[in-house]
Amino acid sequence: MVTLLVSPGCSSSRRAKEWLEEHGIKFKERNMFVERLSIYELKRIIQKTETGIDEIISKRSVSFRVVKNDYNALSLRDIIKKMSKNPEMIRSPILFDNKRLIVGFSEDQIRCFTPRKERTLFLRNAISALNS
């Protein structure tokens, strides 16, 4: 099952939710501000990233700007603690299952959560359209 981590008022979070619903993909939605992520959960998410913590940290957040000057000097443990206490430091949406993780909303990337048969059909139709 797909987990969808959202922030309130985030248009990308809304679009991701709508896309999953439109495509009949079962998911569990979790508002990170209401039900904050534990340090353990953040570590598990970071393990699934390709580029590490920089992939999920929101460098535009007010909380990040407060620690910006000390960011490179902080330990990974300290940064994760700050993210756990300040969910606005976490980019949204974050979608993941046992194998995959995507941050933000991209219709091309989110397709990885559709069943293989549907992805194959989509690609065949796209190729047919190009060849027509």
Catalytic residue list: 10
Residue 1: half-sphere exposure toward Cβ, Cα within 13 Å: 7
DSSP class of 19? H
DSSP codes, 84-108? HH-GGGB-S-EEE-SS-EEES--HH
Q: What angle do CA 48, 14, 10 make, to 5 degrees?
A: 80
Cα-trace Rg, the chain:
17
SS3 41: helix
d(CA 52, CA 24): 30
